[in-house]
Structure formats: C-alpha cells, structure tokens
Amino acid sequence: MLNREPVKIPQIPGQISCRKNGNKEYVYYMRERKYNPEKKYSEPEWIMIGRKITEMPSLMYPNDNYDELFGAGKTDAEDEEMTMEEDMYIRNNGVYGMYIPFFEGLYHEFKQQMRRKADEPVNPYKAESINKVLRPLQEMMKDEEYSEFLGLIETGKEGEKETEMSYSDVMILLTQYKSALGKYHRNHR
C-alpha cells in the first residue's frame, strides 16, 4: 500500500466492510456477488481498498484497488463536505508525513557537523536547502502557541558565500523545531 493522501471511506450501504488484522483495520469493497452452484447461493467477492485511519475513523489511506474502482479522483462519498477536523487532519498529516524524514535527516547531519564546525558559518546552499524543509513545517504549525520560536535560517545577501548563522545557531533552530514537532505530534495525533 502506498503512502497517499487520506480519503473519506465511501458510504455505499452493504458494499463496504471493515476488518481488523492485528492492530490495523482495513476497508473492503464488495465488487460483485458470484453464484456458487454447489452451495446454491451467491458469495460476495471482497477486495481491499485501503487502511482505516485509527485517529479519524471516517478516513482511510487508499491503495491501488481504490484507484481502479473509484478512479484516482474523488468518489461520490468525497463530494460530501469534509468536516473541518477531517480537512485539517489530511492537510497536516500530508505535510507532517512528507517532511519529517527530511527534517530528521537534517537534524542528525547538523548535529554531527556542529561538533566539528560549531562556529563556522553555514553556506547559502545548505541554508536554503534547510529552509525548503522548514518552511512547510513552519506553515503547518503557524497557529500553535509556540510558532513564534520557529524561524528560518537567514541566508544573507545575494552573492555572499556565507550566511550570518553558524552551525551552532542552526542547531539551536533545528532543536526548537524538533521540540515543536514533538509537541505538535502529541496534540494532533
């Protein structure tokens, strides 16, 4: 199953079923019923279309079967207005899930670099690369009470080879983001 944007679980009476497998719950769609002459009744053919989101039971992560059956676009069920809570969950978890691995990599890399080059300035390319990861995270957490502590790396003037910020300055900034992301995760999961 691919890591995709969540969608609303289709509301098709009698054709959608949820089944637990361990600690995860999967959503199935009854594609058709086939008559079994030996048993003399029709049996449903179920196909898994996604994994239900525990924190938001009206949403699921779709798989390729969902795209085949309902198209990659919206289903009739999705035409219904999403609640504000569902919309926020989709927007924030898309950003959170996409940028956290990048952030973690940056954090650990800068932790190593800071030990060797604590007072050296960060070059503009690295600063802009870090800002590309921090900007969406900053936007995601803009309404939180701790958002004032989430800045970006000052990249300096055009043509300069160095920024005003040292590796230790950047590490302080990344540590503030790490703390904020931990708090955000606890509050919104």
Q: Is 125 in the same domain as 176?
A: yes
Distance CA 9, CA 11 (A): 6
pLDDT, tens digit (0-9, with 9 covering 90-100), for 5-27: 788 888 887 889 999 988 899 99
Distance CA 53, CA 51 (A): 6
Counting as low any pLDDT under 70, the low residues of the chain are 1-4, 72-96, 155-163, 188-189
Q: Is 134 in the same domain as 46?
A: no
Q: Is 92 in the same domain as 66?
A: no
Distance CA 46, CA 187 (A): 36
Q: Is 95 in the same domain as 74?
A: no
Asked whether residue 2 is assigned to any structural domain, the reply reads no
Structurally, the chain folds into a number of domains equal to: 2
Domain that holds residue 112: 85-188
Q: How many CB atoms lie within 10 A of CB 45?
A: 11
